[in-house]
Structure 1
Amino acid sequence: MLKNFFKTSIVAAFCFATFSNAQLFRTKDRMDHLEGFDEQKFSYGFYLAANNFDYKLVLDPKFGMDGQKNLVQTKSAYSFGAGLIGKLRLSDYFDLRIEPGLQFVEREIYFDTQSNDQFAAGTPANQPFAPRVLTDADKLRTVKSTYVDIPLLIEVHGDRWYNSRPYAATGVNWMMNLQSNSKAEDDNQQGIFRTTGSNLAWSAEVGIQFYFSRFKLTPGFRGTFMINNESVADNAETPPYWSSAISSAKTRAFMFVLKFE
């Protein structure tokens, strides 16, 4: 359903831009819309986003790999988000933006780590443990996340061309995961994959701003990449089937955003 939503959003934006092409780009009897809009010191709006979230995994060479085989796999997921826009005009070509929002995410991690039974006698990295037969429920972790995403971005844009203007932006994000389970006493042995609650990321974005008679519409593409490791280690007595197999797990997200100002 979310995948269809993602595709529908892109198609809708394309059709919308195509439908309005005559109004936006025609030269005969052309009217420039919202001519003084970008001269405002402050402006605001809201956005909707269709997202694809995944983890970039770095596996532990002992517990996460069997020779050249990766024992842990992640599956990306489509999701959605929404938020507000606040913009401060810095100059004719630069703006400072803050866009607090919520991103609703669900991902899967698959652990094919039965071969770690070979370390049952213990190693310097783990205590001795009693091997167990991993069930399908043991191998699959569905990780749900609700991120409070607060990006602070510097935007640079070109001159207006008729009723449009290209732009690019980059900056840093503070992302708080409301479903991190970071303080839970249970861990993967009880079916809970724990992640960090407070995170830092960076983002880059490109798009085109379209000016209409009453509002500005901005379709854009954004990439967001976590800087810190989000994986929280399992308890010391937990066998190395799960978090011990992962050296780091960092979110990477690609978003199609529609902004209304």
Structure 2
Amino acid sequence: MKKILVIICCVFTLQPAYSQLFSKKKVLNDASGGNGQIDNNILTWGYYLGFNSYDFKFTYNTNAEAIVRKPATGFNVGLVGDVKLNNYVNIRLEPGIFFSTRNLEYPESYGLTDPVDRAREIKSSYVHVPLLLKFSTKRINNFKPFVVGGFSTSLNLSSNQDNPDDNSNNQFRMKKATYYYEVGFGVDFYLYYFKFTPSIRGVFALNDELVRDVDPNSPWTGNIKAMKSRGVFINFTFQ
């Protein structure tokens, strides 16, 4: 996952420089099959596919040994609704379904000696709804870099918030609703029939998502002051 992020960052960084060095004007694609410039439309639609890597940020009550986090790569799919405010600013709604897996490993110093008790696998299926502002540069031939930011909310369809069982019965519980802020960047590539947009975005939860065990001294949740999701999204959008 880290290698993919490095490669994409390098591509985004080098593209503007390449354009300046080789600035001979090219034939401009209108990304609409010849039916008019797509950027002239006030409202446009599309869809995206992508990958995610969710993690947790833990804040502890004491300076105990940290819980080991082992994020995995997940999958995203969703829709895009884009409203043009002017030539450089758009407002976007990007509802989607996000599937993720995170693994936690508790240290033995927490009083957990059984490997089953020390390990927790957390699978989540989110309905994720971000509302974003997109700030673009001037179009350079057939591409246009941009930055994006905003707020989002998600509903965890895999949440077991209301489950009466807790970690003493191998049930790690999370809240259903999470709120985030998001920041990222990307590049619009204008092709003949459509606009293709790779982008990368960081998401950071604003609220504590942990549902604590009944026992206030639980080795799984007793020392956790706050548990907040954070993640990286790599999306490929088609409009």
Fold conserved between structures, TM > 0.5: yes
| Secondary structure in 2 matching 1:167 | strand
1:59–1:72 CA contact under 8 A, matched in 2: no
How far 1:27 sits from its partner (Å)? 3.2
1:32–1:163 CA contact under 8 A, matched in 2: yes
Larger Rg computed on CA atoms: 1
1:219–1:258 CA contact under 8 A, matched in 2: yes
User: Is residue 112 from structure 1 mapped to residue 107 from structure 2 by the alignment?
Assistant: yes
User: Is residue 220 from structure 1 mapped to residue 199 from structure 2 by the alignment?
Assistant: yes
1:52 alignment partner in structure 2: 53
1:94–1:154 CA contact under 8 A, matched in 2: yes
- Partners of 2:23 and 2:147 lie apart in 1 by 25
1:120 alignment partner in structure 2: none
1:138 alignment partner in structure 2: 117
1:95 alignment partner in structure 2: 90
2:214 alignment partner in structure 1: 235
User: Is residue 246 from structure 1 mapped to residue 224 from structure 2 by the alignment?
Assistant: yes
- Partners of 1:98 and 1:205 lie apart in 2 by 15
After superposition, the Cα gap between the structure-2 partners of 1:48 and 1:170, relative to the gap in structure 1 and judged at 3 Å, is: same
After superposition, the Cα gap between the structure-2 partners of 1:210 and 1:72, relative to the gap in structure 1 and judged at 3 Å, is: same
Note the aligned Cα RMSD (angstroms).
Answer: 2.6
Deviations along 1:52-83, whole A, 9 cap, x unmatched? 1110111221xxx44xxx24221122111111
| Secondary structure in 2 matching 1:244 | coil
User: Is residue 159 from structure 1 mapped to residue 138 from structure 2 by the alignment?
Assistant: yes
% identical equivalent positions? 29
- Partners of 2:84 and 2:148 lie apart in 1 by 14
1:86–1:97 CA contact under 8 A, matched in 2: yes
1:72–1:113 CA contact under 8 A, matched in 2: no
- After superposition, residues 172-187 of structure 1 pair within 5 angstroms as 172-187=151-166
How far 1:197 sits from its partner (Å)? 0.2
Q: Which runs of 4+ in 1 moved over 6 A?
A: none
- Partners of 1:51 and 1:142 lie apart in 2 by 17
- Partners of 1:192 and 1:106 lie apart in 2 by 15
User: Is residue 255 from structure 1 mapped to residue 233 from structure 2 by the alignment?
Assistant: yes
1:233 is matched by which residue type in structure 2?
R
| Secondary structure in 1 matching 2:174 | coil
Aligned residues: 226
2:33 alignment partner in structure 1: none
| Secondary structure in 2 matching 1:189 | helix
Which consecutive unaligned segments of at least 5 residues does structure 2 have? 31-35
2:28 alignment partner in structure 1: 32
What TM-score do you get using the length of structure 2 for normalisation?
0.86
1:71–1:113 CA contact under 8 A, matched in 2: no
- Partners of 1:53 and 1:83 lie apart in 2 by 17
| Secondary structure in 1 matching 2:211 | coil
- Partners of 1:226 and 1:115 lie apart in 2 by 26
Deviations along 1:205-257, whole A, 9 cap, x unmatched? 10110101100011111001111011111113x75210112111111111211
User: Is residue 81 from structure 1 mapped to residue 76 from structure 2 by the alignment?
Assistant: yes
- Partners of 2:232 and 2:204 lie apart in 1 by 9
| Secondary structure in 1 matching 2:39 | helix
1:114–1:241 CA contact under 8 A, matched in 2: no
1:83–1:102 CA contact under 8 A, matched in 2: yes
Deviations along 1:192-213, whole A, 9 cap, x unmatched? 1100101100101101101011
